[in-house]
């Protein structure tokens, strides 16, 4: 079942890729403020009020 | 009056590309669903199979590809191109790439729509497209990636909103999966064989198949949900922290859940169990998304009452919750034993597709089209109609399918007191569920109707408004110290901290071992080989390719699971060693018709001859389409030699002689079959395709029998 | 009985900007009404800059603007402290804006650059109420920027450099922990994956060894990176010769890890990597969860934070503002009404009613004439005065308190008390090690092949991780819930100490008695003429009786003039003041003295809160003052006395204690006229007698006691208000619920102990295998997470249910 090597390898590679992304996000303070961004996106552009 | 400040940068959002993808979504959506309705009809009315190009086996993949990659795909791109620009306060990286991406993707869809009815397919579910198109997909996907990351790099908003994380995850994983599952050895422009065989091929395929669902139908839509739901409800998401946490959890686990598609297959038990465990663990993060979505609307239910868009979202998210709960349940071995191969799976998939993907897409389109066209929706009434028709459609689709699936699962396993199968004739079980199939078709039609109404409503909306092709916007650039540092930075933190070093080195090791391994696994395989199992003869191989071309795998599995009910019905259960020469594997995932792995020698050639020409003549009431063309078209042997050659390269032990005499052997064997048929007063040219097919069917699963 | 009310302006019009009811005048602009010109100005400013959406996001989102001048920020002393980064002429500054409260704030503050072009960009952190601004300093200076924010209604709270530093430290610690947590999770998840073939006892063939190695790699990351804190902590404890709970935990982890390494490399098994990393993951979740920090308040303020940041100095007869740090002996300072004396000094010009209540606890004002000396921390009431500094700030009379031991060593509390976990930890370690030894020896003598396995599994399975998990979760929930009731507790240690308290000491002024900042209510049969009011003002202005002072203060606020002279005036103690002006006799005092006739019950309250007036022969009614004691305080004291010894401390004269004393019958249970130092020593005395003392106080004068006590609880009306350094900050209104809160803390600890017992059962179960040397990694891998999870579950469920009950109970209390 050598195919398992490939799959595990790839999966682990991806997982580690994401792990690095995770580390990056912490290092660069992406995760510092987990309240404001959710409100910020609501202020992007003018809303068309007449949309129901 | 407004005093523009000097420091704000002026730029504009590209709405044109969003519109293009939106329109594509609508059109392909309707097409895909239409095909869906057609094949649904074929499942109770064989006469609906018009010409070989419209036969179920060939257009089922058309349906799946159209809805997944054309409808959902374009919807994803529309949503991403709209939200990404605004979340990052930047125009897309390159307009050229955007357009290249758009037209490229449409071209791929068109080519799929052409090749699939022509029977050009690899037979890997959701990856049927042949290698040239695979390459095109890769190219376009990379284009999309460059465009997205380019935008991320020139962004003006430092924080990457959670939706963007979901987009990134989607891009990376889909890329890797697509590449892994497209390792084919081309024979001609339109024919190739997978480098993996049997069990290994199956494993790779379902690892892909599952994650395709995960990362094409789930993560991007969670991203879209996290952007559009707050927008529609005009309130921030319930818990942003939770959204971040469940993202990482989802990402770390999802990858592993693939093998649960192969329970009771010849896959090693531990790999199966592994898939199960991780599938169960998936409930937590998946529901994290659902709960977060629904709770966002807490205290706003009055809004939901009058806002149809939110109604769409609520139903969609609920369906997501149901599907993500059902999925893990289905992966439990004992439930899977009943549900697998039945309509249950079809129901499960469509709850997700119609509810989650469909409804979210609809809501999204209704929301953004009027915005980029600076107008309001053409008709509120029509949206309401769409919502109700759609919802009823889903119900009418899912419920009958669940019943049907359960009925099938039960009947297949039903034994009499004497210990013989209650429904020994598979056909009985099929006839039993036909009414359900009819209802399903009605449900599907309603859903399609809803989509058409939406199309009309949205095009009217576009007509009454004018597209704001470049929406002006302004934002401050990233501050100096915020700007993404250049490569040097990465070195720094890798060197600064031992942990990063460890991680980095771990990757290096993996890459190394992969490079080492890939060549080895292609040649030698430690799947227990069985002496008796021999490669297919050239004729059988050609027959197998016809089997693939006609998409027989769509209705007939080739995997007898180790249950008494199945061994009673079909014969000895399948061993992984029997598939070592199967490039690709043809286990299938659905039993609309009986399993064929032990078909060889069950009936005389003549039975197959008649059955293929007019199935109802052999099994009255059968819903299998007739394959008249196989009796007119003569087999094209131009590539037979190349095919054997290719197989040899993939490790199938053909010797030079076999390859040299490929065609000769082929003609010889077909003459034998022709002779056998002649004994039963059947006149047919030895060169007809049906002969090859019969040869293949008669060979199926016979090897282990011969001592 | 007199029923006349002074007509109060009562209108429903609310300000379009800030939503306050428009008190005296209503300004209308653009068809909208505003409570003041400030609000109107902000509205103009926003609409002129196309920012009217501000009002779209939320209803009356604004806050009334302040005219506070921030020019002093331009002084290098502050500028350098505030500007965190500067390059290419663009500077970056963080402002703490307590007023931030809604989406509109976000909208406005992040669009600052539309109002002020010199602002490059601005970024808001809603949770920390912190605004980061990048601006071109050449175009606008820091002071102007701060003033702009104030004008918009977001007055920056300039806190001392050290507080900012602390916050930074906290954030980076949290990030670090989050990182370790994530990585531990990653390792645990994947390790579990790769251990699977082993568990199912299925032949994974050639993959097996590869899996083993990957596992080791993952395990190493988990143990040595994610678990690094355990190494450092244990090491530091060992150096202090202390046994803590962390030691046995680390032992378990380490042994498990090393064993796994051995097994993998010797191809004898798959080891415990997944259990070990999983355990670490759970432990870290716990650590992460307990880190609830209230970024918007500070528990660490010392007296410096109480003083003004800037003072106005006289330099060659010219007034000039400069930072506090720069005052020297001999400087002449200008002090305005309600300003604080920054250092011991003597009064040069003007008269002052000096209010020392915050620093000494005496509620009486001290009248000062030129030449009198005054002490740092006093709050000046009255006209503008000039003073001369006599002592440097850090040697002043006030600051001697901070010379005390309690302030010198930062963690004197953490060392002087027994943390349940560590107490257990100590015994645990001993028992565990001896057990391991016994088992080891036994097997070594009977069946040497088994001894390693047995010892390892004993150490692994018996590690008291359960306690280390239920602890942070139970207590973490504790402080979270308390915060919901406006009781902010510094950390879980403080919460645990609360559960151990058996004696409670209250400060009087400002704690049991309210801050006197409310309006007096006039219950008079007729309006007083301005002249009459002036006369009464002049009378009470000379009295030191608390009620008189309140009335005087009220009139001062009204900008009322006092008569130059009163023809005759005399104060009759216990009765009131009598004065003659233009041959009309004024009497101000209690009812009998002023000839008002009242029935009994009113007679009872009268003494505390009412000031009766008689003009000539006419009893004109009375002026009622807000309650002196906090509402419901008697009830609370009564409730506490059931389970605790309750004490009263005050810097005040006994005579001002009023009805409070009825609740403290025993002499030994109260002490008056005590200096800050006395209070501290009082606590010390109690502690010496083996008591675990909770101190409840509000002022600087309580700082010592708060610091010394087992738990120091500072009372504050709103969390922006200055509070001395303490373990917890309790909102004044909630003080009456103190008994309930203490009960909750007790419950928390009981819960932990209960769940700990349960975990012991798990451990014994595991041990029963371990001692026989038959513990398979699978059992370990199942048992440990199950154990951890159930601990987690109990802690969450228990605390939440209890707290919910608490909530509804308090709600009911509010009801009746």
Residues 6+ apart with CB under 8 A from C545: C571
Short-list B68, B83, B75, B12, CA closest to B35: B68
Q: Which of B101-115, B202-216, C244-258 has the highest mean pLDDT?
A: B101-115
Q: Are C669 and C646 in contact (CB under 8 A)?
A: yes
Lowest mean pLDDT segment, chosen from B491-505, B548-562, C766-780: B491-505
**Whether C202 contacts chain B with CB within 8 A:** yes
Q: B274 vs C193: CB contact, 8 Å cut-off? A: yes
Q: How confident is the model at residue C125 (pLDDT cuts 50, 70, 90)?
A: confident
Main-chain phi, psi angles of C95, to 5 degrees: -115, 140
How distant, in Å, are the alpha carbons of B107, C459, C475, C648 from that of B190?
17, 63, 66, 94
CB-CB neighbors (< 8 A) of C223 in chain B? none
- Between residues B419 and C46, the one the model is more confident about: B419
Instruction: Compute the distance between CA of residue C245 and CA of residue C252 in angstroms, rounded to an integer.
Output: 12
Contact B556, B595 (CB under 8 A): yes
The set of residues, in sequence order, having a beta carbon less than 8 Å from that of C404 and lying 6+ positions away, is C677, C680, C704, C707, C708
In B348-430, the DSSP E strands lie at none
Nearest CA in chain B to C194: B274
List the single residue in B86, B200, B493 with the smallest CB-CB distance to A1.
B200
Cβ(C439)–Cβ(C454) below 8 Å: yes
Q: Considering only residues C3 and C554, tell me which one the structure prediction assigns the higher pLDDT.
A: C554
Upstream peptide bond of C227 is cis (omega within 30 degrees of 0): no
**Vertex A17 angle, CA A11 and A23, to 5°:** 135
Q: With an 8 Å Cβ cutoff, is C186 touching chain A?
A: yes
Q: In the prediction, which pLDDT does C96 show?
A: 83
User: Considering chain B, what is the average pLDDT of its residues?
Assistant: 86
Touching check for A51 and chain C: CB below 8 Å? no
The more confidently predicted of residues C116 and C291 is: C116
What is the percent of chain C with per-residue pLDDT over 70, rounded to a whole number?
83
At C60 the three-state DSSP class reads: coil
Name the residue with higher pLDDT: C200 or C275.
C275
C53 touching chain A per CB within 8 A: yes
* B519 DSSP 8-state letter: H
User: What sign results for the dihedral spanned by CA atoms B692, B698, B701, B702?
Assistant: negative
Within 8 A of C136 by CB-CB distance, chain B residues are 7
| Residue found by looking up tokens 């007729």 in the block | C526
Measure the CA–CA gap between B34 and B452, rounded to whole angstroms: 10
**What pLDDT, in 10s, does the model give residues B271-315?**
666 666 666 666 777 788 888 899 888 878 888 888 999 999 999
Does residue B499 sit at the C interface (CB-CB below 8 Å)?
A: yes
> Where residue C641 falls among pLDDT bands split at 50, 70, 90?
confident
Residues 6+ apart with CB under 8 A from C166: C298, C300
**pLDDT tens-digit profile of C477-536?**
888 888 888 888 888 888 888 888 889 998 877 777 765 555 677 778 788 888 888 888
Q: What percent of chain B has pLDDT over 90?
A: 54
B136, B139, B134: which is closest to B124 by C-alpha? B134
Please report the pLDDT score of residue C2 as a whole number. 39
A8 touches B: beta carbon within 8 Å: no
- Cross-chain Cβ contact B252/C114 below 8 Å: no
* Contact criterion met (CB below 8 Å) for C676 and C376: no
The pair of structure tokens assigned to B10 is: 């002026």
Q: Token match 């319930």: residue?
A: B238
The CA-atom distances, in angstroms, between B42 and each of B37, B347, C125 are 9, 17, 59
Say if C323 is an interface residue toward chain B (CB within 8 Å).
Answer: no
pLDDT at C9: 36
DSSP conformation class of B551? T
CA distances from B24 to B103, B110, B593 (A): 10, 12, 35
**pLDDT surpassing 60 at residue B217:** yes
Subunits close to C (at least 3 CB pairs below 8 A): A, B
Residues of C in contact with B498 (CB under 8 A): 224-225
Q: What phi, psi does C621 have (nearest 5°)?
A: 115, -160
Q: Which of A17, A25, A38 is the closest to B237 by Cβ?
A: A38
Q: C49–B526: do the CB atoms touch at under 8 Å?
A: no
The alpha-carbon gap from A39 to the nearest alpha carbon of chain B, in Å, equals 5
Chain C interface includes A48 (CB < 8 A): no
Distance CA B536, CA B693 (A): 12
Distance from CA of C214 to the nearest CA of A (A): 10
ipTM reported for the complex surpasses 0.90: no
**Which one of A3, A15, A48 has the shortest CB-CB distance to B370?**
A48
Q: Mean per-residue pLDDT for B372-381?
A: 93
Interface A–B counts its CB contacts (< 8 A) at: 132
- Across all residues in chain C, what is the average pLDDT? 78
**Contact residues, chain C, for A43 at CB < 8 Å:** 53, 57, 103, 106-107, 110
Contact residues on chain A for C214, CB-CB shorter than 8 A: 12
Nearest CA to C725 among C289, C302, C99? C302
Cβ-based contacts of C205 with chain A (< 8 Å): 1
Q: Is A5 on the interface with C (CB under 8 A)?
A: yes
Residue C127 with chain A: CB contacts under 8 Å = 33-36
Hey, which of B403-407, C79-83, C719-723 has the most confident mean pLDDT? B403-407
Mutation site for A-interface testing, chosen from B194, B229, B239, B240 by largest number of A Cβ within 10 Å: B240
Residue C507 CA neighbour count, 13 Å, CB half: 38
Residues facing C313 on adjacent strands: C320, C333
pLDDT tens digits for C704-716?
A: 888 888 888 888 7
Q: What is the mean pLDDT of residues B398-405?
A: 94
pLDDT for C199-209, tens place per residue?
A: 655 555 566 77
SS3 of C232, please?
helix
Q: Do residue B236 and residue A3 have CB atoms under 8 angstroms apart? A: no
B256 DSSP assignment? G
CB contact under 8 A, B481 and C197: no
pLDDT value at position B147?
A: 94
Considering only the beta carbons, identify the residue of B473, B503, B518 that sits closest to A16: B503
pLDDT band at C75 (very low <50, low <70, confident <90, very high): confident
Residue B259 has a pLDDT of: 53
Of the candidates B647, B525, B527, the residue with the CA atom closest to the CA atom of residue B575 = B527
Considering only C151-160, C343-352, C384-393, which range has the smallest mean pLDDT? C151-160
Nearest CA in chain B to A38: B236
For the stretch B56-77, pLDDT in tens is 999 999 999 999 999 999 999 9
Give which of C359, C405, C356, C351 is closest to C382, Cα–Cα: C351
Considering only residues C794 and B504, tell me which one the structure prediction assigns the higher pLDDT.
C794
Q: What is the tens place of the pLDDT at every residue in C408-428?
A: 665 566 555 667 777 887 788
Tell me whether residues A26 and C178 touch, CB distance under 8 A: yes
Nearest CA in chain B to C213: B506
A46 interface with B at CB cutoff 8 Å? no
The answer on pLDDT for B232 being more than 70 is yes
- Phi and psi at B374, nearest 5°, equal 45, 50
State whether residue A26 sits within 8 Å of chain B by CB. no
CB distance from A26 to chain C under 8 Å? yes
């Amino acid at each position: 079942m050598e195919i398992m090597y490939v799959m595990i390898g790839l999966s682990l590679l991806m997982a580690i890729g994401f792990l690095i992304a995770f580390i990056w996000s912490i290092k660069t303070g992406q995760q510092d403020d987990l309240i404001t961004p959710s409100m910020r996106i609501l202020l992007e552009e003018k809303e068309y009020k007449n949309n129901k | 009056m407004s005093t523009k400040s000097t420091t704000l940068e002026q730029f504009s959002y590209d709405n044109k590309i969003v519109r293009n993808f939106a329109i594509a979504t609508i059109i392909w959506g309707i097409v895909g669903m239409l095909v869906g309705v057609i094949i649904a009809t074929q499942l109770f009315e064989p006469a609906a199979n018009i010409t070989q190009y419209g036969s179920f086996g060939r257009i089922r993949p058309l349906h799946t590809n159209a809805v997944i990659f054309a409808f959902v795909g374009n919807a994803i791109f529309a949503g991403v191109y709209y939200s990404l620009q605004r979340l990052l306060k930047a125009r897309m990286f390159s307009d050229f790439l955007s357009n290249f991406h758009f037209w490229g993707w449409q071209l791929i869809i068109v080519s799929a729509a052409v090749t699939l009815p022509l029977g050009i397919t690899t037979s890997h579910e959701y990856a049927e497209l042949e290698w040239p198109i695979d390459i095109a997909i890769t190219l376009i996907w990379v284009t999309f990636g460059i465009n997205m990351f380019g935008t991320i790099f020139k962004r003006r908003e430092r924080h990457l909103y959670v939706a963007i994380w979901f987009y990134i995850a989607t891009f990376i994983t889909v890329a890797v999966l697509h590449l892994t599952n497209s390792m084919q050895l081309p024979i001609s422009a339109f024919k190739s064989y997978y480098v993996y065989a049997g069990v290994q091929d199956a494993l790779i395929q379902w690892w892909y198949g599952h994650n395709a669902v995960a990362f094409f139908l789930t993560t991007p839509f969670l991203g879209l949900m996290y952007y559009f739901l707050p927008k529609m409800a005009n309130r921030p998401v319930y818990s942003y922290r939770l959204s971040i946490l469940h993202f990482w959890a989802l990402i770390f686990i999802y990858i592993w859940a693939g093998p649960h598609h192969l329970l009771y297959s010849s896959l090693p038990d531990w790999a199966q169990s592994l898939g199960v465990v991780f599938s169960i663990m998936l409930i937590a993060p998946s529901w994290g998304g659902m709960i977060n979505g629904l709770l966002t609307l807490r205290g706003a239910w009055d809004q939901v009452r009058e806002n149809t868009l939110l109604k769409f979202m609520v139903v969609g998210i609920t369906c997501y919750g149901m599907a993500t709960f059902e999925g893990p349940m289905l992966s439990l071995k004992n439930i899977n034993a009943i549900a697998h191969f039945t309509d249950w799976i079809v129901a499960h998939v469509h709850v997700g597709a119609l509810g989650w993907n469909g409804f979210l897409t609809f809501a999204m389109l209704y929301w953004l089209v009027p915005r980029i066209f600076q107008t309001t929706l053409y008709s509120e009434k029509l949206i309401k109609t769409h919502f109700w028709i759609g919802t009823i459609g889903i119900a009418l689709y899912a419920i009958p399918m669940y019943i049907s699936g359960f009925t099938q699962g039960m009947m297949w396993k039903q034994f009499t007191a004497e210990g013989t199968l209650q429904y020994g004739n598979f056909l009985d079980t099929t006839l039993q569920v036909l009414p359900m199939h009819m209802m399903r078709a009605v449900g599907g039609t309603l859903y399609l109707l809803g989509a058409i109404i939406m199309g009309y409503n949205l095009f009217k909306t576009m007509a009454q408004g004018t597209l704001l092709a470049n929406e002006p916007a302004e934002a401050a650039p990233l501050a100096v110290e915020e700007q993404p540092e250049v490569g040097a930075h990465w070195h720094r933190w890798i060197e600064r901290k031992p942990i990063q070093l460890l991680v980095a080195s771990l990757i290096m090791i993996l890459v190394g071992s992969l490079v080492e391994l890939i060549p080895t696994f292609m040649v030698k395989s430690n799947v227990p080989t069985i002496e008796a199992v021999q490669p297919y003869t050239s004729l059988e191989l050609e027959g197998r390719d016809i089997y693939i071309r006609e998409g027989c795998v769509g209705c007939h599995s080739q995997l007898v699971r180790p249950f008494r009910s199945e061994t009673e019905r079909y014969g000895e259960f399948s061993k992984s060693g029997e598939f070592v020469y199967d490039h690709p594997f043809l286990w299938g995932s659905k039993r609309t018709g009986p399993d064929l792995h032990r078909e060889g020698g069950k009936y005389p050639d003549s039975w197959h001859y008649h059955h293929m020409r007019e199935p109802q003549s052999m099994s009255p009431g059968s819903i299998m389409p007739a394959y008249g063309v196989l009796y007119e078209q003569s087999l094209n042997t131009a590539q037979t030699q190349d095919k054997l050659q290719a197989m040899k390269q993939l490790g199938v032990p053909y010797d030079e002689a076999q390859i040299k005499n490929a065609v000769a052997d082929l003609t010889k064997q077909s003459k034998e079959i022709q002779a056998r048929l002649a004994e039963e007063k059947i006149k047919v040219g030895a060169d007809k395709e049906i002969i090859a097919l019969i040869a293949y069917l008669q060979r199926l699963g016979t090897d282990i029998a011969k001592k | 009985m007199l029923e006349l009310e002074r007509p109060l302006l009562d209108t429903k019009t609310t300000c379009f900007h800030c939503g306050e009811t428009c008190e005296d005048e209503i300004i209308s602009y653009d068809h909208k009404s505003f409570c003041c010109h400030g609000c109107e100005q902000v509205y103009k400013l926003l609409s002129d800059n196309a920012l009217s959406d501000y009002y779209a996001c939320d209803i009356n989102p604004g806050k009334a603007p302040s005219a506070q001048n921030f020019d002093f920020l331009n002084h290098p002393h502050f500028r350098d402290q505030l500007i965190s980064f500067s390059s290419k002429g663009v500077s970056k500054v963080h402002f703490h804006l307590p007023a931030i409260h809604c989406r509109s704030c976000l909208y406005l503050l992040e669009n600052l650059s539309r109002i002020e072009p010199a602002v490059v960009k601005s970024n808001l952190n809603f949770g920390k109420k912190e605004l980061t601004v990048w601006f071109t300093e050449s175009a606008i200076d820091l002071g102007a920027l701060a003033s702009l924010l104030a004008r918009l209604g977001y007055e920056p709270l300039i806190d001392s450099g050290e507080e900012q530093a602390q916050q930074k430290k906290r954030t980076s610690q949290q990030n670090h922990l989050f990182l370790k947590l994530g990585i531990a999770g990653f390792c645990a998840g994947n390790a579990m994956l790769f251990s699977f073939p082993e568990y199912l006892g299925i032949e994974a063939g050639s993959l097996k060894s590869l899996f083993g190695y990957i596992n080791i790699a993952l395990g190493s990351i988990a143990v040595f990176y994610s678990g690094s804190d355990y190494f450092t902590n244990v090491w530091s404890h060992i150096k202090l010769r202390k046994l803590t709970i962390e030691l046995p935990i680390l032992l378990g982890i380490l042994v498990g890890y090393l064993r796994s390494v051995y097994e993998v490399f010797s191809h004898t098994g798959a080891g415990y990597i997944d259990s070990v990393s999983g355990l670490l993951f759970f432990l870290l979740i716990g650590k992460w969860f307990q880190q609830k920090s209230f970024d918007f308040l500070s528990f660490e303020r010392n007296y410096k934070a109480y003083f003004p940041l800037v003072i106005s100095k006289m330099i060659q007869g010219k007034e000039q503002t400069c930072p506090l740090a720069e005052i020297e002996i001999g400087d002449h300072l200008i002090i305005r009404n309600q300003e604080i004396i920054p250092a011991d000094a003597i009064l040069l010009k003007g008269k002052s009613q000096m209010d020392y209540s915050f620093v000494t606890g005496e509620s009486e004002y001290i009248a000062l004439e030129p030449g009198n000396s005054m002490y740092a921390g006093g709050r000046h009431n009255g006209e503008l005065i000039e003073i001369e500094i006599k002592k440097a700030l850090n040697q002043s009379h006030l600051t001697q308190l901070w010379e005390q031991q309690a302030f010198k060593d930062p963690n004197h509390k953490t060392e002087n008390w027994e943390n349940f976990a560590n107490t257990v930890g100590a015994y645990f370690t001993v028992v565990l090690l001896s057990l391991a030894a016994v088992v080891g020896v036994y097997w070594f003598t009977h069946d040497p092949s088994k001894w390693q396995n047995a010892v390892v599994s004993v150490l692994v399975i018996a590690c008291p991780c359960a306690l280390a998990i239920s602890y942070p979760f139970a207590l973490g929930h504790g402080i979270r819930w308390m915060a919901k009731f406006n009781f902010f507790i510094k950390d879980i240690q403080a919460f645990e100490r609360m559960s151990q308290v058996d004696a409670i000491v209250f400060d009087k002024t400002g704690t049991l008695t309210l801050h006197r900042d409310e309006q007096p209510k006039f219950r008079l049969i007729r309006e007083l003429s301005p002249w009459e009011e002036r006369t009464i003002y002049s009378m009470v202005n000379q009295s030191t009786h608390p009620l008189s002072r309140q009335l005087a203060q009220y009139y001062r606020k009204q900008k009322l003039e006092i008569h130059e002279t009163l023809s005759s005036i005399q104060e009759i103690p216990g009765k009131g003041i009598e004065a003659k002006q233009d041959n009309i006799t004024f009497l101000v005092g209690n009812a009998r003295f002023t000839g008002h006739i009242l029935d009994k019950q009113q007679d009872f309250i009268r003494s505390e809160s009412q000031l009766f007036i008689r003009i000539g022969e006419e009893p004109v009614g009375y002026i009622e003052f807000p309650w002196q004691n906090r509402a419901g305080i008697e009830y609370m004291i009564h409730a506490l006395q059931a389970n605790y010894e309750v004490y009263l401390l005050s810097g005040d004269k006994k005579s001002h204690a009023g009805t409070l004393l009825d609740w403290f019958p025993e002499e030994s249970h109260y002490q008056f006229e005590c200096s800050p130092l006395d209070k501290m020593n009082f606590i010390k005395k109690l502690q010496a007698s083996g008591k675990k003392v909770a101190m409840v106080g509000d002022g600087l004068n309580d700082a010592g006691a708060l610091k010394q006590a087992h738990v120091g609880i500072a009372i504050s009306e709103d969390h922006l208000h200055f509070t001395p350094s303490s373990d917890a900050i309790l909102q004044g209104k909630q003080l009456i619920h103190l008994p309930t809160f203490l009960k909750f803390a007790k419950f928390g600890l009981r819960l932990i102990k209960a769940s700990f017992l349960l975990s012991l059962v798990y451990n014994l179960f595991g041990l029963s295998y371990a001692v026989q040397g038959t513990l398979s990694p699978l059992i370990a891998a199942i048992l440990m997470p199950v154990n951890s999870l159930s601990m987690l579950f109990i802690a969450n469920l228990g605390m939440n249910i209890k707290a919910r009950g608490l909530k509804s109970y308090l709600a009911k209390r509010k009801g009746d």
